[in-house]
Amino acid sequence: MVAGCASGAPGAPAPSTEVFARRGVAPNARTRIAKVMPPFAPRKLREMREQLVPLHERTGPPKPGEWRADHPESGQSFDEYLASRPTAPSAARRTLVVQPLGVVDETRGRILVLVGEALTAYFGLPTRVEAALDLGKPPREARRRVAQTSQLLSGWILRDVLEPRLPPDAAALLGFTTEDLWPGEGWNFVFGEASLAKRVGVWSLHRYGDPTIDPGAFRQTLRRAVKVALHESGHMFSLEHCTAFRCVQAGINSLEEEDASPLWPCPDCLAKIAWVTSTDPKARLGAMADFCRRADLPPEAHHFERDLAALG
């Protein structure tokens, strides 16, 4: 099943979500864990969460037109996530693979490289950007025109383009396109869409502005691109939309809502990411602070530094 993050017709049903396989801890490992508890053990992550919760802003009632107003969702706690047996990296599948779809110009190529760095910092997994893939002529049902905008059907990309090309080492395969996307009947467009079980997702830069205008425009497009790439990759590890806090994993219904949303995860989603990737959450915060400083995103760098300092 898929999770979509889009602007759609008011009241349109959100794509359904479903979560699948995750390896568990072998019973005979319990003694070792009790002696040396890793930072990604659930007990440690619950403690981390409690330290960070006072620093994070909880969501209020949604405003008309926002994602939660049009698509009521119950959210997903850390313990619900653990119980859902989410899709996870494995010994063989530990690389995040980014697949450009179609021609990417030099400026947007720079954004793609930076997004790859952000993915590695956020998930603690290596990222590889593949050579651009020519989509050829999509089938008639996979393309439509709305006003002056040509759109590609995101489900066609997931099902027919990415799934058959999933590399054997890919923890997730994330398609990148500069074309506009739409996920199906009743929707206007989608910023990105991902499967919670098939390890594939896609996101578009089409609505994120022209990064060639000046450094400020580049930074704005980069910020938006990093947000959607982290969000869709979170879906590929079975994170559902966050409803408890202002969080990068929250559903987005418009560009205005995108710009108002944060680039960072809430305490619940940070715990989920650390657990599913078996990494130290403090390392994730530190790596993201470093990335945001290099990428000239000072407010985001400050936030990650603040959370890291709170954990000691």
Going by C-alpha positions, the residue among 257, 203, 244, 246 that lies closest to residue 225 is: 203
Going by C-alpha positions, the residue among 148, 242, 160 that lies closest to residue 195 is: 160
Instruction: Report the largest interatomic distance among the alpha carbons of the chain, rounded to a whole angstrom.
Output: 63
For residues 60 and 79, give the distance between their C-alpha atoms in angstroms, rounded to a whole number. Answer: 22
For residues 270 and 264, give the distance between their C-alpha atoms in angstroms, rounded to a whole number. Answer: 9
Q: How many CB atoms lie within 10 A of CB 178?
A: 15
Q: Taking a C-beta distance cutoff of 8 angstroms, is the pair 269, 292 a contact?
A: no
Q: Which residues pair with 204 in a beta bridge?
A: 177
Q: Show the DSSP H helices in the chain as ranges.
A: 30-35, 42-52, 67-70, 78-83, 106-123, 154-156, 215-236, 255-260, 267-277, 281-294, 298-310
Q: Is the dihedral of CA 102, 263, 298, 302 positive or negative?
A: negative
Q: Taking a C-beta distance cutoff of 8 angstroms, is the pair 276, 237 a contact?
A: yes
- Burial status of residue 309 (CB atoms within 10 A of its CB: 0-12, 13-18, 19 or more): exposed
Active site residue 73: no
Catalytic hit among 66, 193, 232, 300: 232
For residues 139 and 90, give the distance between their C-alpha atoms in angstroms, rounded to a whole number. Answer: 34
The separation between the first and the last C-alpha atoms of the chain, rounded to the nearest angstrom, is 39
State the Rg of the chain over Cα: 19
Give the active site residues: 232
